[in-house]
Amino acid sequence: MTGKETLNTKGLTIRRDGRLHSEDLAHDSIPDIESYVRKNSSDYSKPALIKKIILNTNQVQQVFEHYYIRVDYSLYVATKVARNQFRIADAKKSEKVLGELFEKFSSELSQTANEMKQLLEKDVPIENQNIIYDHKREFEVPVRTGFSMRLVNLTQMLDTLIAATEKLEINNVLSPDDSDEAIKSWVYRYRQFCKAINQIRVNSFSKVTKSP
């Protein structure tokens, strides 16, 4: 029996166009479910945790505003979308490279933050360490993967590091030149980190377009 054949025996379940109905029911009044054709990545339902993040320093606010949404998308595409498309090997390769990239940046950031903390404890009195910022910004951002959550955490670490650098400058432990150089260096590294993530997404899909 094909999907479009019908049994006329009263009371039996019948099949119309591959769907099961009862002959006792009026088919025109029964709600049905139609398949939705998903062609683009935007057609698929994606999970997201809405995360609040507060940033103090102007430098980190600006770089976060510029990069985060695109990087979050790149992380999702390089991992989740690849798996949804059954490109498991590509996804695992991207996840391995991303893991190494995050680990390296996190380690460097943590080491420098600890050095700054030691300088503060040694050279700056407690009463001079409580600086304030007059334009804090609170962001609500989508977090679509575990890597995105790590990116949010690293961004907050960078914000803390730059705030510590500014504390050291205000207290004359660092010169204006040294402070400026350190801040610009770390913002540059953050930009390069984000660009590397975006490139991983590009590389993942370039293989698909080149495959015969």
What is the per-residue DSSP string for 77-107? IIIIIHHHTT-HHHHHHHHHHHHHHHHHHHH
| Per-residue pLDDT tens over the stretch 126-179 | 999 999 999 999 999 999 999 999 999 999 999 999 999 999 999 999 999 999
- CB of 194 closer than 8 Å to CB of 67: yes
Q: Annotate 40-77 with DSSP letters as a single string.
A: SGGGS----EEEEEEE--HHHHHHHHHHHHHHHHHHHI
| Per-residue pLDDT tens over the stretch 64-105 | 999 999 999 999 999 988 888 888 998 899 999 999 999 999
Averaged pLDDT, 50-68: 97
pTM of the model: 0.80
